[in-house]
Amino acid sequence: MVVYGITELGLSEQIGSSKEEAKQLIEGFKSSMPNYLMWEATTHKEVMEKGFIETVLGRKRRFGETIAEAKQEDIWKKSGWHWKIEKCKRQSCNAKIQGSSADQTKKAMVDLFYPTRLDGTKCLDRREWLREGYMSQLEKDDLHLVLQVHDELIFDVPETVDPAALKAITDTMANVIPNDVGVKFKSDIEVSPYWGGNFSKEQIRLMTEGLLDWKDIFKEEVNKKLSKFGFDYKVGIFADGDLDDENDSEENT
């Protein structure tokens, strides 16, 4: 949150502290990361001079109109400060971080989904793709990109998926951005038979060998959550028919 430019007021409201305590936390964080302070100052200077910032792959987020309007107001002319400009500065840092993360995710999606020609370029033409018999990284292992959630990608994969194919996905996601500043990116991967699950490598191995039924783990997790509300899980507990029957019995009573 601090990296994204949160204010003392915003942080104090989120963590339930005073503005003074939040200010100390922000200042402590920034003082412990001098390189971040240099980057923040450079970004603020960039947005004030250019009126926009660029993500790592060159996409622009524009602030020029807002900055120009704020500079015409008396508060800026008298003090050299304006809340609109401070907001632009905070958003410029956020846009560089979040926008570059979006660049990374979208570039990874392209690299994974589209096949590569022999000359190293990506084939975006489906007809050429089929005519030449190209295969994308995902097609080779029967993996299917289902959903993007911010900087996460959700795939549908066979139960017998080769772990090497999953590692290839993480390698792609971690290396799509030109790394000319020595930053090492990391990409994690989680495997589950159902949405929201998180299984260890050992559990995945046991399920693959038929020694563990994921439905038992699912039932245990659901029971744990429903127990907070006084429910016991059973198949069909939320089916429309069951609810209708329950409502009918209450009305008859």
Angle at 85 between CA 84 and CA 88, to 5 degrees: 90
Domains of the chain, residue spans: 33-191, 196-237
Confidence band for 192, pLDDT divided at 50, 70 and 90? confident
- What pLDDT was estimated at residue 71? 94
Q: Using CA atoms, how far apart are residues 207 and 200, in angstroms rounded to an integer? A: 11
Say if residue 78's pLDDT is above 60: yes
Would you say 160 and 208 are in contact if contact means Cβ atoms under 8 Å apart?
Answer: yes
Q: Who's near 231: CB < 8 A, 6+ residues apart?
A: 237
List, for residues 7-45, the tens digit of each pLDDT value: 888 889 888 999 999 999 988 988 888 888 899 999 999
Tell me which residue has tokens 């240099």.
Answer: 38
DSSP string, 144-162: EEEEEETTEEEEE--TT--
Residues linked to residue 156 through DSSP beta bridges, in sequence order: 144
